[in-house]
Structure 1
């Protein structure tokens, strides 16, 4: 497959890879208060779905498109939002900030500082 066929969608565009869907399903089962956020397709990436738990932990995987994301969210019985319209939840940004602090502390500790 050439570069331009990949950018235009190439083979398999619009299909959720079963591994991606399996990951999203398993992640939802192992986390509490999960909400879904759909990110639109761009020239570089397919449509993606971000799942965010109550504590702000999150994961992202490709989905077959906005309708595929809605269908998956319905089957998981979780709310779904359009990330372009509502943005991302503050708890997700807070989680990332906490993780960054913990990584920095660990790095300093490993360096003996």
Structure 2
């Protein structure tokens, strides 16, 4: 074994991404069925995360889970009658950001700050 052989070996990177699972899809299904005015926003794969889909309800409530790829996200939306948008093209909706801001204010009030 040479001095640099250990550097040449391919190793599986720690924290390797896991793919989308049936649990991810089940969560998205249940979440969408329990709310109205739901839209899907697909976030592309990055070096840190796999492709994800963010579901946003009419009031800005949201959830995020992994999905196999962009085509799977469009298929998910078609099957359920949910519009699907690419985040890189349209961004995330303002109502989602407003919801997050309201949640932060409520958390501060709950802590008495």
| Residue 74 of structure 2 is aligned to residue 70 of structure 1 | yes
Query: 1:91: which partner in 2?
Result: 95
Q: What TM-score results when the alignment is normalised by the length of structure 1?
A: 0.85
Query: 2:110: which partner in 1?
Result: 106
Residue 13 of structure 2: which of 3, 25, 30 is its match? 3
**Structure 2 SS opposite 1:42:** coil
Q: Distance in 2 between matches of 1:99 and 1:5?
A: 30
Q: Distance in 1 between matches of 2:94 and 2:72?
A: 25
Deviation at 1:5, TM superposition (A): 8.6
In structure 2, the CA distance between the partners of 1:81 and 1:2, relative to structure 1 (3 Å rule), is same
What 5-or-longer segments of structure 2 have no aligned partner?
A: 1-10
Tell me how large the CA RMSD over aligned residues is: 1.8
Q: How many residues align?
A: 103
What 5-or-longer segments of structure 1 have no aligned partner?
A: none
Q: What TM-score results when the alignment is normalised by the length of structure 2?
A: 0.85
Query: Which runs of at least 4 in structure 1 moved beyond 3 Å after TM superposition?
Result: none
Q: Distance in 2 between matches of 1:19 and 1:87?
A: 26
Q: Distance in 1 between matches of 2:93 and 2:47?
A: 25
